[in-house]
């Protein structure tokens, strides 16, 4: 869904027909839908008195806060979400976790990593993620470290490596989306990457790559020789 539709409260009928979740699915298939659109489809149209897209965004914010399936109480706190809707969301998340969770997916290159996290690309804010890998380069976990405009003051190695140690990770790939679509790394992006690389050397948990991504493409620090194999 185009980010411009999320800048202010908007009803589904105000969105062009081809951009509505159901119509977009018919035209492009399920893989073309964003996380927000998938949540909107799970919720359906029965949210009387509440903006469906706003409710979907609040649900997505709850899900983003944890790498586990959220508890039902956190969903019930969202205005417009009753017990039946919350249960539908949890059932969908649990079923997909059992059948198709990305954990243990082998990462062979930057494109593999991009495919594992590209569903974050349509977020309105920048999301900084860590992909923790085992010795076989399989995904152990994908963590949301922080969200908001990234700068060197808000990304601390402690937040990244404490989760890696908890996961017993062998290596890390860091990534963040650029909502603007401009994939060129900023000075802060480069500075943050170097700090984390230096910290990883001390802890013997290397940073394999830093991926900046949008919905359609990505920029890999490793592929562009900004991270060299040690």
pLDDT tens digits, residue range 7-21? 445 566 666 666 777
Q: Does any domain span residue 159?
A: yes
Report the phi/psi class of residue 23: left, alpha or beta, with left for phi > 0 and alpha for psi in -120 to 50. Answer: alpha
4: confidence class by pLDDT, cuts 50, 70, 90: very low
Q: Which domain holds residue 92?
A: 3-100
Same domain, 80 and 115: no
For the chain, the domain total comes to 2
Same domain, 37 and 56: yes
> What pLDDT, on the 0 to 100 scale, is given for residue 5?
46
- Residue 88, both tokens: 């539908």
Q: Does any domain span residue 116?
A: yes
**Tens of pLDDT along 195-221?**
999 999 999 999 999 999 998 899 999
Domain boundary residue, one of 71, 100, 129: 100
91: confidence class by pLDDT, cuts 50, 70, 90: very high
Separation CA 167–CA 2 (nearest Å): 35
User: Is a pLDDT exceeding 90 seen at residue 147?
Assistant: no
Q: Does any domain span residue 193?
A: yes
| Average pLDDT of the chain to the nearest whole number | 85
Q: Does any domain span residue 230?
A: no
Q: What is the mean pLDDT of residues 158-166?
A: 95
Picking from 18, 43, 38, the residue whose alpha carbon sits closest to that of residue 28 is: 18
Q: Does any domain span residue 214?
A: yes
Domain boundary residue, one of 100, 119, 149: 100
Hey, is 139 helix, strand or coil? strand
């Amino acid at each position: 869904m185009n980010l411009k539709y999320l800048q202010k409260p908007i009803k589904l009928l105000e969105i062009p027909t081809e951009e509505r979740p159901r119509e977009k699915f018919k035209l492009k298939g399920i893989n073309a839908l964003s996380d927000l659109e998938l949540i909107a489809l799970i919720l359906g149209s029965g949210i009387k008195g509440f903006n469906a897209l706003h409710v979907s965004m609040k649900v997505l914010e709850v899900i983003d806060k944890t790498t586990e399936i959220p508890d039902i109480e956190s969903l019930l706190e969202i205005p417009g979400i009753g017990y039946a809707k919350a249960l539908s969301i949890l059932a969908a998340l649990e079923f997909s976790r059992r059948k198709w969770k990305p954990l243990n997916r082998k990462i062979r290159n930057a494109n593999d990593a991009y495919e594992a996290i590209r569903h974050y690309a349509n977020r309105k804010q920048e999301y900084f993620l860590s992909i923790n890998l085992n010795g076989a380069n399989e995904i152990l976990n994908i963590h949301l470290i922080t969200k908001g405009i990234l700068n060197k003051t808000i990304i601390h190695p402690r937040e990244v490596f404490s989760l890696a140690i908890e996961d017993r990770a062998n290596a890390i790939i860091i990534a963040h989306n650029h909502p603007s679509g401009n994939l060129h790394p900023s000075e802060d992006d480069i500075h943050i990457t170097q700090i984390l690389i230096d910290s990883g050397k001390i802890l013997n948990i290397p940073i394999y790559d830093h991926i900046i991504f949008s919905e359609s493409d990505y920029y890999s620090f490793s592929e562009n020789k900004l991270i060299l194999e040690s």
